[in-house]
Amino acid sequence: MKTKKSQKLYSKAIKIMPGGVNSPVRAFKAVGGNPIFISKAKGSKIYDVDGNIFIDYVLSWGPLILGHAPKEIVKALKKAVEKGTSYGAPTKLEIELAELVKKAFPSMEKIRMVNSGTEATMSAIRVARGFTGRAKVIKFEGCYHGHVDGLLVAAGSGGETFGIPDSLGVPKTYASETIVLPFNDKEALKSTIEKNWRDIACVIVEPVVGNMGCILPKEDFLEILRAETQKYGIVLIFDEVMTGFRVSFGGAQSYYGITPDLTCLGKVIGGGLPVGAYGGKKEIMQMVAPDGGVYQAGTLSGNPLAMTAGIETLKILKKGSTYKKLEEIMRALEEGLKDAAKRADVKVKFYRAGTMFCTYFTETEVIDAKTARTADLEKYKKFFWKMLEKGIYLAPSQFEAGFISLSHSKKDIEKTVQAAYNTFKEL
């Protein structure tokens, strides 16, 4: 694998940007070595500046469920850009995307568009606090909800990767409003809520955790979460920024049949452009300005280009055959990887929910942050680089989910499984 041009760009980048990147996990710190620089992408493939081609299972960390640069979206964006890139005034496109989102997520009776998943979770929490008049937030260890001050506590993703779950610069007083519980622990949840409910505004959760790999909720965990929050007037926020349109068309809430009060979306709904959204029950969303007293705004929110990419993406996802096809691709990869590990006699745990997945190098059943940490990070490191050399681009950290897209072909999957088998053998 040639990396000369990437290395050169990296040495320039580190002079002008922290770590040479604009988002920490891109820096490859968790797997050692330096990042590769991308020049273009199409379908399931990304191309780097040295001429290497990779089958991509990062997909911009989740958004690109159709693959890179799908022709429908490229065409719609070209047309849209001619009409101007932002107006700071309402458009029909915003209604159209909101309606498409609501079709998939009926619990989102009213929706506000923002520019990122972080903005969505930050705003949803503010609304929950405004609505309840309470301050405290319950989150789960290893769940990542963007880089919101009060939520950067035991936050998975980059934090987990670097072993610094708490960020500098977050005042203790902010973090002290956050209660952290282990995921999948219903007893801890019940006793904490019963003791502290008078102060608790909301519980925020990734219903399938994608920022510690991929961790599924135990059979009745989400049900109990719903029942307990309902009982004590606590707002239940599903952070479906990653799981939305990934676990199923209607996200984890549709798949598990649990209706939260508020939902946060991002990633897929922007079709590769910067979008987030939050929404939920009418009486809660009525708190949002200008209807209510919870302030939240955005110069570029509801941006026409981002709305266009989102609309075109959801239109394709809405077709009956799309998820059937995604399921076939995902199942082929799942079965192939499991089989490859078995044949090579490498112990791994593989989990997936819809089109997101993780292969943990551990023999322990992964159900929360503690069990996720049993994974052999040195092994993952080797696995990552050997796969990269074979043309397979995986997340540069054990604690990130992988994704497939509609454009991953049978051939892509076969090549990936073969590479995985050979790599497992080499470990």
Least distance (Å) between residue 401 CB and ligand PLP: 8
Shortest-Cβ-distance residue relative to ligand PLP: 117
- In the complex with ligand PLP, the residue whose CB is nearer, 179 or 264, is 264
How many CB atoms lie under 10 A from the CB of residue 45? Answer: 18
Least distance (Å) between residue 273 CB and ligand PLP: 11
- In the complex with ligand PLP, the residue whose CB is nearer, 59 or 340, is 59
Least distance (Å) between residue 206 CB and ligand PLP: 5
Least distance (Å) between residue 389 CB and ligand PLP: 28
Q: Is 267 among the residues known to form the active site? A: yes
Residue 40 exposed, middle or buried by CB count within 10 Å (0-12, 13-18, 19+) = exposed
| Among 239, 261, 368, 412, the one annotated catalytic | 239
- In the complex with ligand PLP, the residue whose CB is nearer, 211 or 407, is 211
- In the complex with ligand PLP, the residue whose CB is nearer, 144 or 384, is 144
| Among 10, 48, 56, 144, the one annotated catalytic | 144
Q: Is 345 among the residues known to form the active site? A: no
- In the complex with ligand PLP, the residue whose CB is nearer, 118 or 192, is 118
Nearest of 330, 373, 385, 322 to residue 355 by alpha carbon:
330
Least distance (Å) between residue 26 CB and ligand PLP: 12
Residue 302 Rama label (left phi>0; alpha psi -120 to 50; beta): left
- In the complex with ligand PLP, the residue whose CB is nearer, 80 or 241, is 241
Q: Residue 209's beta-bridge partner residues?
A: 215
Least distance (Å) between residue 267 CB and ligand PLP: 6
- Between the CA of residue 128 and those of 6, 9, 91, 148, 335, what are the distances in Å? 45, 44, 28, 15, 42
**Quick one: DSSP state of residue 215?**
B
Q: Is 110 among the residues known to form the active site? A: no
Contact 131, 287 (CB under 8 A): yes
Our measurement of the distance from residue 261's CA atom to the centroid of its chain's CA atoms, rounded to an integer in Å, reads 20
| Among 29, 45, 136, 267, the one annotated catalytic | 267
- Between the CA of residue 62 and those of 57, 189, 265, 308, 415, what are the distances in Å? 9, 29, 12, 18, 21
Q: How far apart are CA 288 and CA 426, in angstroms?
A: 55
Q: What order of strands is seen across the sheet that includes strand 356-360?
A: 349-353, 356-360, 402-403
Contact positions vs ligand PLP (CB under 6 A): 116-118, 121, 144-146, 206, 210-211, 239, 241-242, 266, 276
Residue positions annotated with a catalytic role: 144, 239, 267
